[in-house]
Chains A and B, each alone.
Chain A
Amino acid sequence: MEKLTSHYQSADFFDELIDDKGTARSPAKQLLGYLDSLSEDELEKRRLTAEATIQEMGISFTVYTEEGNIDRAWPFDIVPRTIEASDWKIAEAGLKQRLTALNLFINDLYHDQNVIKDGIIPEHIIKDSKNFRPECVGVSPAYGVWAHICGTDLVRDENGDFFVLEDNLRVPSGVSYMLENRAITKRVLPELFENESILPVDSYTSQLFDTLASLSPRDIENPEIVVLTPGIYNSAYFEHAFLAQQMGAELVEGSDLFVDSDDCVYMKTIDGPERVDVIYRRIDDLFIDPEAFDPESVLGVAGLMRAWRAGNVALANAPGAGVADDKVVYAYVPAIIRYYLNEEPILNNVETFLCDDPEQRAYVLANLDKLVVKPANESGGYGMLVGPHSTKKEQALFAELITKNPRNYIAQPTLRLSTAPTLISKGVLEPRHLDLRPFILQAKDTYVTTGGLTRVAMKKGSLVVNSSQGGGSKDTWIVETKGQ
């Protein structure tokens, strides 16, 4: 019988599981050996088990289309991606360092703005930031932390080094899929969990609960924590429900809450109003409070900002935290780390050109066919130009956009994203590009998930891993191999 991995080759990229000689990397040894021992039919059976499990568990996400919203089953590849535990420790330390610095930075921006006064970051970058909220100036959230939950996207280059691709500090999603991916994999490849030292991931929801509880403005034993969702038509509704359920928190919509004349937030219950202490909000800043922001919004709660500013309710993430989510600010993060912590960044940024800078802009405009251009404040992979895959017409359009509003664009070299073996059709493994989104929690303490959510570009050669753009995902294994 021919081995599954015998023809596998990942051309010029760093492959997470198999090195360029075709040998399994140490954290993947047992996994690949096991997969090789399965017949094509057996492997196919496992794939079908995964599919059925996903359907039964109702793991889905919603995609917006012209025909309306479609609830799709979660696209999942059964071959896990492995990372050596000792490699992960470094990434973890890097993420903690990065988020500590970013929170100091956000807090500074809404108070003294020393970072601007000391010339680390130009004033106009902040002044023109779409996510800087003047409404938040002077507010002091608990522990000085604004971004309590962050999803930072990591990629590996051709040498296998981790780079930070972007920080998501507004309402990052995906963590429930990380947990569900593990649950599915345990059902699909149970044999491997017996013999390998795969670090567990499932403490996330209790960590999240502790993080949120520590933010309660009232010093009481059981603060009322709620997850605020825009509702079932949101693409991440599955996750909102999942997290609320796992934490034993109430899943609320804007219409379930109100702010009374005492500037406290209450929820509407069958017993009458009940005071709310902590809101894990999964609604963007501009929709959380029609009184403070968009009066047209029906998703939020009128007076919420008033209650938050008065210190009667904690919001996670705090409004205004997204200012550090700006891709232009991203370019300054290494400087931010040095400034606040007086340390060298453990994790590097991807090389980034700021279109705001005339010299860098000229370079970008001359090299549109080679670069990836991103708008500073979009998410979900929208509004991007992927140079090498673009037409002359698209490049001309972006040249115009950049010239018109240079502050709004950054460019990065096309990354040589790492790959991992992915089951493409029956018995066929092919390399597919992927990234990794670990989640970092910060309040009184800082916590990083074990690994994170691995997203895979399912199309051959594609670099787009977003689920809204047809990407898939895999379980992520942090494997201890040393000292055995």
Chain B
Amino acid sequence: MLSRVAERLYWSARYLERVENTARLVSVYDDLLFDLPKNIEVSWYNLIEILSGEELFEQRYKVKDERNVVKFLLADDTNFNSMLSSLKMVKENIRTTRDAVPRETWELINELDLYAQQNIKQGINRSGRHDFLNTIIEGCQKIIGLFAGAMRRDSGWHFLIMGRYLERADMGTRILDAAVSLMLQSEPEARIQLGQVTWSKVLKSQSAYLDYRRTVRTSINGAKATTFLMNDLCFPRSLAYCLGQIGEAATKLPRAGLITAQVDKLLEFDYPINSSEDLDEDFHNHLNDIQIAIIEINHQITENWFHFRQGDAA
């Protein structure tokens, strides 16, 4: 497989996952606002912080309100991480690797991109937002489903897997971090009230609610939800699962050593969370370290397979 094609497949998967996760994130916040007691203030601006978009946001907007935040995350074309920008990147990457993915991929991504562009107003206005975001998430899943059902498990597939799960691990830890920050910011007496709602939304945002119920079998609290989302080996959106997928995909490719070593190191790391008190500043720093390690894995993937060194030649 061409290094360039491998790189573009990897990035199409990352951007596709980013589209889905951005939609999930906005959706869960939207939902959260309906359920929170009136006296608790939740700022939409948290979302900008989760996604490290403060600087760019503040260049563009004066008011940190819902409309601006949602617009920035979904529609803004100066924000290269916005949903529409990410979709455009999926499209561009697929466009240049159409010969390496199932034929229908191109049609599906076009459909999704057209839909998103034509209906973006629905996403920005609260009334149509839920349906809009749902359709976007479904559109992403359709493409992932097509890959799963129609693609050979060759190198291209492994690069898609690495891209998808790296992005998912990145976003997953950001969402956890957001919830932790939200809790830390609130008054201790509000935390109990807030915790129930927040953590069940976090689980729902990851489609993890039912699996949590079935496997953890206790009421929802921060420590248990976080443990599930970090450590569960079978749930496809947990950090451990994502890292496992990256490591496994890497071993199917040549010269995987550095990447698998890095992944194994991360997987071995055990951060004990016994009660919700443990979700403190230290834990926040721990998540930060994981984020840095994820960035490092991305860097190694790039070096290992995408930057061709002519010295390797015959």
Q: Which residues of A contact B (CB under 8 A)?
A: 55-58, 231-232, 241-242, 244-245, 248-253, 255-256, 258, 260, 262, 266-273
User: Which B residues are in CB contact (< 8 Å) with A255?
Assistant: 4
B-side interface residues toward A, CB under 8 Å?
1-6, 92, 95-99, 103, 106-107, 110-111, 114, 155, 253-254, 305, 308, 310, 312-314
By the criterion CB–CB under 8 Å, are B99 and A270 in contact?
Answer: no
Known pairs A232-B95, A241-B95, A268-B308 / 8 extra A-B pairs, C-beta < 8 Å: A56-B107, A58-B106, A58-B110, A232-B92, A250-B5, A256-B3, A268-B3, A271-B1
A268–B3 alpha-carbon span in the complex (Å): 6
Option from B1, B106, B107, B313 in Cβ contact (under 8 Å) with A270: B1
**Chain A contacts for B305, CB-based, 8 A:** 270
Cβ distance B300 to chain A, nearest Cβ, rounded Å:
14
Please give, as numbers and ranges, the residues of chain B lying within 8 Å of A231 by CB-CB distance: 96
**What's the minimum C-beta distance from A248 to chain B, rounded to whole angstroms?**
8
Complexed CA–CA distance, A100 and B99 (Å): 32
- In the complex, the answer to whether B96 meets A269 with C-beta atoms within 8 Å is no
Interface hub of A232, A266, A272 (most chain B Cβ within 10 A): A272
Neighbouring A residues of B5 by C-beta, 8 Å:
250-251
Residues of A within 8 A of B308 (CB): 268
> B114 to A245, Cβ gap below 8 A?
no
On whether the beta carbons of B313 and A260 are closer than 8 Å, the reply is: yes
The reply to whether B253 and A250 contact each other, CB–CB distance below 8 Å, is: no
Q: Is the interface of B mostly helix, strand, loop or mixed?
A: helix
A258-B254 Cα distance, complex, nearest whole Å: 21
For the A-B complex, the count of residue pairs with Cβ-Cβ distances under 8 Å equals 73
In the complex the two chains form, is A266's CB within 8 Å of B314's CB? yes
Chain B contacts for A252, CB-based, 8 A: 2
What are the residues of chain B within 8 A of A55 when measuring CB–CB? Answer: 110, 114
The majority secondary structure among interface residues of chain A is mixed
Evaluate contact between A269 and B3: CB separation under 8 angstroms: yes
Q: In the bound complex, do residue B110 and residue A266 qualify as a contact, i.e. CB atoms below 8 Å apart?
A: no
Q: Does A272 contact B95, Cβ atoms closer than 8 Å?
A: no
CB neighbours of A249 from chain B (8 A): 99
Q: Which one of A232, A245, A258, A267 lies within 8 Å of B310 (CB-CB)?
A: A258
Q: Which of B1, B6, B103, B110 contacts A245 (CB 8 A)?
A: B103
- Please determine whether B99 and A245 come into contact, CB atoms closer than 8 angstroms: yes
Shortest A252–chain B CB gap in Å is 6
Most chain A CB atoms below 10 A, which of B6, B96, B253: B96
A260 with B314: CB separation less than 8 A: yes
* One of B1, B95, B111, B314 near A269 (C-beta < 8 A): B1
* CA gap between A262 and B1 in the complex, in Å: 22
A residues less than 8 Å from B6 (CB atoms): 270
CB pair B95 A273 closer than 8 Å: no
Query: Given A260-B314, A273-B312, is A241 in contact with B2 using a C-beta cutoff of 8 Å?
Result: no
Please name the residue on chain A nearest to B94 by beta carbon: A58
B96 CB contact (under 8 Å) in A232, A250, A258, A270: A232
- Which chain A residues lie closer than 8 Å to B97 at the CB level? 251
Q: Give chain B residues whose Cβ lies under 8 Å from the Cβ of A271.
A: 1, 254
Partner of A268, one of B4, B96, B114, B253: B4
Residue in B closest to A229 when the chains form the complex, CB atoms: B96
A56 to B96, CA, bound (A): 17
Cα–Cα distance between A260 and B308 once the two chains are bound (Å): 14
Closest to A227 in B: B99
Q: In the assembled complex, which residues on chain A have CB atoms less than 8 Å from the CB atom of B96? A: 231-232, 241, 251
Closest 7 CB pairs of A and B: A245-B99, A268-B308, A244-B99, A273-B313, A270-B305, A241-B98, A58-B110
